[in-house]
Amino acid sequence: MKKNGFFLFLVGSVLTVNAQKSEIEWVSSTQNSSWVNESKHISLSSKDTVNSIQILSDKKLQSIDGFGGCFNELGWEALVSLPETKKQSILKELFTPTGANFSYCRMPVGSSDYSLSYYSFDDVPEDFTMRNFNIDRDRYILIPYIKEVLKIRKDLRIWASPWSPPTWMKVNKHYAMRGGPVKKSNISNDMDSAKNILNNATAFIMQESYLKAYALYLSKFIKAYEKEGVKIDGLDVQNEIAYSLPWPSCTWRPEDLSFFIGKQLGPRFKADSIATHIWLGTINYGEPDYVRTILNNKDAAQYISGVGFQWAGKKAIGTIIKEYPQYRYMQTESECGDNENDWHSAEHTWDLMKLYLSAGANSYMYWNMVLEKKGLSSWDYGQNMLVSIDTVTKEVVYNPEYYLMKHLSHYVLQGAHLVQTSGYNDCLAFVNDNGTTVLLVANPLSTSKKVNVVVNGKTIGAEMKPKSFNTISIK
Give residue 191's pLDDT: 85
Q: Has domain 24-61+419-474 been given CATH number 1.10.3720.10?
A: no
pLDDT for the residue 200: 87
State CA 429 to chain mean position distance.
Answer: 19
Cβ atoms of 427 and 403 within 8 Å: the answer is no
pTM of the model: 0.94
Low pLDDT (below 70) residues in the chain = 1-22, 45-49, 181-188
Q: Is 330 helix (H, G, I), strand (E, B) or coil?
A: strand
Cα gap 304→328, rounded to integer Å = 10
Count CA atoms within 13 Å of residue 356 on its CB side: 30
Distance CA(73)–CA(78), nearest Å, equals 9
Q: Say if residues 165 and 247 touch (Cβ distance below 8 Å).
A: no
The pLDDT of residue 11 is: 37
The CATH number given to 65-411 is 3.20.20.80
- SS3 annotation, 202-262: CCECCCHHHHHHHHHHHHHHHHHHHHCCCCCCEEECCCCCCCCCCCCCCCCCHHHHHHHHH
Domain with CATH 3.20.20.80 in the chain: 65-411
**Count of C-beta atoms within a 10 Å radius of residue 189:** 20
Q: Residues with Cβ < 8 Å from 182, sequence gap 6 or more?
A: 188, 189, 246, 247, 377, 379, 380, 381
Beta pairing, strands 468-474 & 24-29: antiparallel
What pLDDT was estimated at residue 47?
62
- State residue 140 phi and psi, 5-degree precision: -105, -10
* pLDDT, tens digit, 9 for 90 and up, residues 94-125: 999 999 999 999 999 999 999 999 999 999 99
Domain with CATH 2.60.40.1180 in the chain: 24-61+419-474
Amino acid 369: pLDDT: 98
